[in-house]
């Protein structure tokens, strides 16, 4: 299993499972929460209606008094209400009143008149001075549909006579038929209850409402939580995916960098960042520099030792001959030979230092927008004196419109100067060297053309080798062999290529191809 998938799975499991269990708790709490709110509302309604019903009960008109008439009109109303997108057309409350024996003396639905409710929890507990409530099946034998009942005591109005018409407090209860909690069949033997201000108990008023009236709200609330929870889980998965992509992308960059380094390629280190992955990238780059530095020194010491043997041997031989008496002509010739070898050693060391500085870096240190025609003009100006001394003319040619080039102006100018030096050195007197640039498929191509003898077949594969050099026409002198390797390093730093080929019409053409986009070959920091 790949690391990216493991990270994504871990993120999703942590966030998704946590969200799932939180949602489950919310969904499970919706139903009891709404029912508790409904019960609290029924408590308020029952106590308000108990105070309103007191005068009708004490007067013996519980079934046909003012409260009964007003409740009948309320039940007949077409409410026409829309509550949370649900239509409500009828009052769902059912109101029953029982006397102190628990016998129903009023039912707003007219169903249970005369029934004994003394054993039902709402009436039973209220008659004993406790909070009375119950939830019973709406239809016997169907427990999935229930009705909530909440009762409140009815006390006599202030300054009203006792409840002679409603039945005495110690009257015998009627024969109830509904099952309920076990207990005495009526309040026989109890001390008569009174309110806090001494008013006697007249009976019990119960307000009931089917739980199915709130089922749509419960279902809608649960569905809303589940829907939003789905969005939350989806958002969590998206964030987990982005985090995984970000981590995998950075780890992949480190992996590609390590593979490139192990393959001997010179690549820019991962971008700097203030975290552990950034520290790891910088540690890898530091390690690469240490290892490269050691191998680099060993390689250069070997190459330099081999390259310096020849001029040192020539100097030593000339010096030994100068120790003996020689004709002035021979003496001057040997002195000139020593001076030439000294210049060759100096040039080799200088160019080797420049090449070492370029090769030391795996990326461009300074990047700017360059004016290509101005860059070519500067390189031509630097080579004018050398061309004049060799009797060679220089000509510039470039496309009329060239886009700005992102790169290191100093390195590119030095690379063009090296190509011009080679072209001048291999051109016969009176020849012309052309330098130009043109755009080619997303890259800018610098070209330097000469009219010299061209490159021998055996030398073509080796022209970019360090210290490899061909004899110059006429003089037979050789250069340090570091000019073209320098050009190749500059091309590499810019993400391009350098090449030298023979022209069909004679002479050679050197090209330096530089991509116009330099994003992947520069060191950046974040």
pLDDT digits (tens, 9 = 90+) for 375-420: 888 888 888 888 888 888 998 886 667 888 888 887 888 888 889 8
**DSSP string covering 449-477, please?**
E--S----GGGGGGTTSTT--PPPTTT--
Both tokens assigned to 47: 């106590």
pLDDT digits (tens, 9 = 90+) for 88-110: 778 888 999 999 999 999 999 88
pLDDT given at position 480: 67
Q: For residues 482 and 357, give the distance between their C-alpha atoms in angstroms, rounded to a whole number.
A: 13
Q: For residues 526 and 465, give the distance between their C-alpha atoms in angstroms, rounded to a whole number.
A: 37
pLDDT exceeds cutoff 90 at 150: yes
For the ranges 114-128, 178-192, 249-263, the maximum mean pLDDT occurs at 114-128
Q: For residues 435 and 384, give the distance between their C-alpha atoms in angstroms, rounded to a whole number.
A: 12
- Nearest CA to 521 out of 165, 225, 268 is that of 268
Higher pLDDT among residues 63 and 9, named by residue: 63
Contact 169, 100 (CB under 8 A): yes
Higher pLDDT among residues 167 and 485, named by residue: 485
Band of the pLDDT at 162, cuts 50, 70, 90? very low
Q: For residues 131 and 119, give the distance between their C-alpha atoms in angstroms, rounded to a whole number.
A: 14
Q: For residues 68 and 367, give the distance between their C-alpha atoms in angstroms, rounded to a whole number.
A: 93
410 to 154, 252, 357, 373: CA distances (angstroms): 102, 33, 13, 14
Backbone CA torsion sign across 337, 342, 348, 351: negative
pLDDT digits (tens, 9 = 90+) for 72-86: 998 888 877 777 677
Report the share of the chain in percent with pLDDT over 90.
Answer: 20
Q: For residues 489 and 163, give the distance between their C-alpha atoms in angstroms, rounded to a whole number.
A: 113
pLDDT given at position 208: 93
Across the range 155-159, mean pLDDT stands at 82
pLDDT digits (tens, 9 = 90+) for 220-243: 776 777 777 777 777 777 777 787
The pairing of strands 393-398 and 432-440 is: parallel
Band of the pLDDT at 171, cuts 50, 70, 90? very low
Domain covering 266-358: architecture: Orthogonal Bundle (1.10)
Band of the pLDDT at 124, cuts 50, 70, 90? very high
pLDDT digits (tens, 9 = 90+) for 310-369: 567 667 777 777 777 778 777 777 777 677 767 666 766 665 666 566 555 555 667 788
Domain covering 363-526: architecture: 2-Layer Sandwich (3.30)
β-bridge partners, 398: 437
């992102």: which residue's tokens?
A: 406
Higher pLDDT among residues 90 and 525, named by residue: 90
**DSSP string covering 328-377, please?**
HHHHHHHHHHHHHHHHHHHHHHHHHHHHHHHHH-SSBS--EEE-HHHHHH
Q: For residues 467 and 464, give the distance between their C-alpha atoms in angstroms, rounded to a whole number.
A: 9
To 5 degrees, how large is the angle CA 398–CA 400–CA 405?
70
Higher pLDDT among residues 154 and 140, named by residue: 154
To 5 degrees, how large is the angle CA 228–CA 234–CA 239?
125
Higher pLDDT among residues 336 and 480, named by residue: 336
Backbone CA torsion sign across 30, 31, 32, 38: positive
In this structure, the chain runs to a length of 526
pLDDT given at position 30: 67
Residue intervals of the chain classified under CATH 3.30.450.20 are 46-211
pLDDT exceeds cutoff 90 at 123: yes
pLDDT digits (tens, 9 = 90+) for 255-276: 777 777 667 666 666 666 766 6
Q: For residues 129 and 131, give the distance between their C-alpha atoms in angstroms, rounded to a whole number.
A: 7
To 5 degrees, how large is the angle CA 35–CA 37–CA 38?
60
Phi, psi of 12 (to 5 degrees): -65, -40
Write out the H or E segment, with its range, that includes residue 230.
Answer: helix 215-262
Higher pLDDT among residues 485 and 477, named by residue: 485
Q: Hey, is 526 helix, strand or coil?
A: coil
- Nearest CA to 273 out of 299, 246, 244 is that of 246
pLDDT digits (tens, 9 = 90+) for 9-48: 777 677 667 766 766 666 666 677 777 888 898 999 999 9
pLDDT given at position 207: 95
What burial letters (b/e) apply to 233-252, b meaning 16+ CB within 10 Å? Answer: beebbeebeeebeebbebbe
Residue intervals of the chain classified under CATH 3.30.565.10 are 363-526
pLDDT given at position 44: 93
Residue intervals of the chain classified under CATH 1.10.287.130 are 266-358
Band of the pLDDT at 522, cuts 50, 70, 90? very low
pLDDT given at position 353: 64
Band of the pLDDT at 159, cuts 50, 70, 90? low
pLDDT given at position 404: 81
pLDDT exceeds cutoff 60 at 180: no
Domain covering 46-211: architecture: 2-Layer Sandwich (3.30)
pLDDT given at position 173: 35
Band of the pLDDT at 525, cuts 50, 70, 90? very low
pLDDT exceeds cutoff 70 at 306: no
Q: For residues 250 and 247, give the distance between their C-alpha atoms in angstroms, rounded to a whole number.
A: 5
Q: For residues 447 and 419, give the distance between their C-alpha atoms in angstroms, rounded to a whole number.
A: 9
| pLDDT, the chain, mean | 76
Across the range 274-296, mean pLDDT stands at 64
pLDDT exceeds cutoff 50 at 526: no
């Amino acid at each position: 299993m790949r690391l990216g998938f493991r990270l994504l799975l871990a993120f999703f499991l942590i966030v998704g499972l946590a969200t799932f269990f939180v949602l489950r708790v919310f969904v499970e709490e919706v139903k009891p929460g709404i029912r508790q709110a409904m019960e609290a509302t029924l408590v308020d309604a029952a106590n308000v209606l108990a105070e309103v019903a007191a005068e009708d009960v004490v007067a013996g008109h519980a079934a046909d008094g003012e409260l009964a008439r007003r409740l009948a009109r309320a039940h007949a109303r077409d409410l026409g209400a829309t509550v949370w997108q649900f239509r409500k057309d009828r009052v769902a409350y059912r109101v029953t009143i029982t006397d102190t024996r628990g016998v129903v003396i009023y039912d707003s639905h007219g169903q249970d008149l005369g029934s004994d409710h003394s054993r039902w929890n709402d009436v039973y507990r209220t008659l004993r001075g406790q909070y009375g409530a119950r939830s019973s099946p709406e239809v016997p034998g169907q427990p999935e549909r229930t009705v909530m009942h909440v009762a409140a005591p009815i006390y006599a109005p202030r300054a009203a006579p006792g409840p002679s018409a409603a039945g005495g407090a110690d009257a015998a209860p009627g024969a109830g038929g509904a099952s309920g909690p076990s207990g005495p069949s009526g309040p026989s033997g109890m001390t008569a209850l009174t309110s806090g201000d001494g008013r006697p108990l007249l009976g019990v008023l119960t307000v009931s409402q089917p739980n199915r009236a709130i089922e749509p709200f419960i279902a809608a609330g649960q569905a809303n939580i589940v829907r939003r929870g789905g969005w939350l889980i989806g958002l969590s998965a998206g964030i987990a995916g982005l985090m995984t992509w970000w981590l995998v992308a950075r780890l992949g960059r480190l992996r590609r960098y390590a593979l490139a380094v192990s393959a001997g390629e010179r690549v820019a280190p991962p971008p700097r960042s203030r975290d552990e992955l950034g520290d790891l990238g910088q540690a890898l780059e530091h390690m690469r520099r240490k290892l490269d530095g050691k191998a680099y020194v060993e390689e250069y010491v070997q190459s330099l030792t081999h390259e310096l043997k020849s001029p040192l041997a020539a100097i030593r031989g000339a010096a030994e001959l100068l120790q003996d008496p020689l004709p002035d002509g021979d003496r001057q010739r040997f002195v000139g030979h020593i001076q030439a070898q000294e210049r060759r050693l100096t040039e080799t060391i200088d160019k080797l230092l420049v090449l070492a500085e370029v090769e030391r870096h795996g990326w461009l240190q300074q990047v700017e927008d360059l004016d290509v025609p101005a860059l070519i003009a500067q390189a031509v100006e630097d080579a004018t004196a050398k061309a004049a001394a060799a009797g060679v003319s220089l000509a510039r040619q470039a496309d009329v419109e060239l886009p700005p080039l992102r790169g290191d102006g100093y390195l590119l100018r030095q690379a063009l100067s090296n190509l011009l030096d080679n072209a001048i050195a291999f051109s016969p007197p009176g020849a012309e060297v052309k330098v130009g640039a043109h755009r080619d498929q997303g890259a800018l191509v610098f070209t330097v053309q000469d009219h010299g003898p061209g490159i021998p077949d055996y030398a073509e594969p080796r022209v970019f080798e360090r210290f490899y050099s061909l004899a110059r026409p006429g003089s037979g002198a050789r250069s340090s062999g570091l000019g073209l390797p320098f050009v190749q390093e500059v091309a590499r730093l810019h993400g391009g290529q350098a090449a030298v080929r023979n022209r069909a019409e004679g002479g050679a053409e050197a090209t330096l191809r530089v991509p116009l986009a330099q994003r992947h070959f520069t060191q950046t920091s974040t």
